[in-house]
Structure 1
């Protein structure tokens, strides 16, 4: 009986050991590979790329209560921008829009952190009834030929936006008006792109 109990306990422990740790280890390895892939690029990667692609665009007008009797209007934007060179999509999730009229502004984190693959992020937005402009200035790293000396890329891209399609949300979830693009994707051509060795510590 003692031998049978010992045998069954051994089987139980062996099955538990085989069940959980291995998938977690594989998952961590997969995540690290994904992180490395986003920097697996070089200057030649971008030799045939003329810009990025805007894949997501939503502008919400949000009413935020400041006290019991007053509220303040805020503009919140979500953008998705595809970098064809690295395959990354930089998603700026519900970031506060602080300035319009063609002024460059620093991206500030919204409901989620800014993409970790971006070293710096700025946006420019002009909204109009028929068309507008949207621009981004991004910095990102590539390992290049020597990962110990990565390249820092700096690109500015500006596009003419198609007209917005807006829907009155009537205060649903605090949103009074929600606006999107009249088409699914918009090219963001480079106004300029440059690169150089990243400063030490990056």
Structure 2
């Protein structure tokens, strides 16, 4: 995974938008973002992913494919929806099995976007309450394992007054020591 500040220039969201300013692992950790690179085992074994799941108490998982073929007529709408700034009430955990894409996470202190380019073998944990968004890159394909602490769910709460004051957002800000 490569992390850098988003350049904020207009243009296709699937382009790199690379400002040339790298972001360190320490900066990501300071905002609660964790990541590992775990090579995808072609034989189907996921021992290292299972170890992370056990350590973090993830009980369920599924696999999703995001491509023009898999989403059909809903493709453009789904891609635009994923790219809206939002948060979740649960951690968001993604392990890239094939393809690649971008997770953009909001750095609270500066309101800057940090772009994380992920490809096969990258596993990322976004804390509950962090503002983020997702898009494919120019390859327009990703197959991703989603991990969940409880039953699989994916409810996005778009940024606004209600999400800014939600208990999950406030807990997140407390966890990164923002007052």
| TM-score normalised by L of structure 1 | 0.22
Which has a greater percent of helix? 2
| TM-score normalised by L of structure 2 | 0.24
Which has a greater percent of strand? 1
Q: Which has the larger radius of gyration?
A: 1
Q: Which has the higher contact order (CA 8 A, sep 6+)?
A: 2
